[in-house]
Structure 1
């Protein structure tokens, strides 16, 4: 997730202040997440330095307002058009499994079982969120959660294939 591009997207239609940007970025996250306010203000400073955002005065409550510049709009549009290559989670289980295979790790089945259990917990959590978003009429989050669930399903299918190959 890029706070930089989240800020640019939020400023695309309206000027805003830092705290409201924080709240809005958190609402863009698929899962309920928190952003450190310091990260917002540090990113805003960098965006101003790079002339992608400008400070445009204060609102009626004396909070500094920010607006996107023409260069910021161009940067956002370029980013939106860049394809995103699939990358499994930060702690890539496939790499760990490959290492276990390489060393002939005797507890490979335990590794696979533990991974399946974690995936199933995530499936249950995301299914609950998906239902909440459907009931709230939040189609964007509903569709994003659906995508996450499909990735988890693919992970489970892969583990089942590994187990079936091991049992053959």
Structure 2
């Protein structure tokens, strides 16, 4: 998700000032995507330049309020209607690390897999705990639903990563051991 579309979505609820947009964005995304206030104001400036938002006066504290324009509403509707493209795989540091470790003579790739598994398992436990807390509050606090959805996505991603690590480990255990070559390049005896 782009910050641009996130801000447009929040402004669909009415005029807001920058720091309120930042606070609401972080609350709605369950705190998983913290924003720098500079990002918010830079993005608002670009949205204003592109005719998607306008300055709509100030609140009682003198903070500039931004409001969605018809162009902004049209862009927001278009964004909601478009599927998220996942055609080209993202550059994933873990995948790159495992590929490079698998080809390195002095690295035990299984140790790399196990270190990542311990890390993601701990993250999974944390996400599940936070999800349980959100579930207990969700019936009384409807705003918890957004946080709950984000936490569930984190749980599913962590579970998928653990499964992928298990797959990688199994594949690595099936591969033949690489022949070690001495530094002079000759085949070992």
Same fold (TM over 0.5): yes
Residue 164 (structure 1) aligns with: 170
- Cα gap change, 1:35 to 1:90, in 2 (>3 Å): farther
Aligned to 1:35: 35
| Pair 1:119-2:120 in alignment | yes
CA drift of 1:38 comes to 1.6
Q: Which has a greater percent of helix?
A: 1
Question: Per-residue deviation at 1:48?
Answer: 0.7
For the residues of structure 2 that align with 1:102 and 1:82, how far apart are their CA atoms? 40
Taking the TM superposition and a 5 Å limit, the aligned residue runs for 1:6-155 are 6-86=6-86, 91-104=92-105, 106-137=107-138, 138-155=144-161
Map Cα deviations across residues 135-163 of structure 1 (whole Å, 9 max, x no partner). 22122221221122112111111211222
Q: Which structure has the larger Rg? A: 2
Q: How many residues align?
A: 168
Q: Deviations 1:22-80 (Å, cap 9, x if unpaired)?
A: 11111122335532212211111111111100001112222211100011011111222
Question: Structure 1 runs of 4+ off > 6 angstroms?
Answer: 87-90
Q: CA deviation at 1:11?
A: 0.8
**Corresponding residue SS for 2:61:** coil
TM-score normalised to the size of structure 2?
A: 0.79
Structure 1 residues 89 and 145, CA gap change in structure 2 (3 angstroms)? farther
Give the Cα separation in 2 of the matches to 1:90 and 1:59.
43
Alpha-carbon spacing, 1:25–1:124, altered in 2? closer, same or farther (3 Å):
same
Residue segments in structure 1 that go unaligned for 5+ positions in a row: none
TM-score by length of 1: 0.88
Which runs of 5 or more structure 2 residues have no equivalent in the other structure? 139-143, 175-189
* Partner secondary structure for residue 149 of structure 1: helix
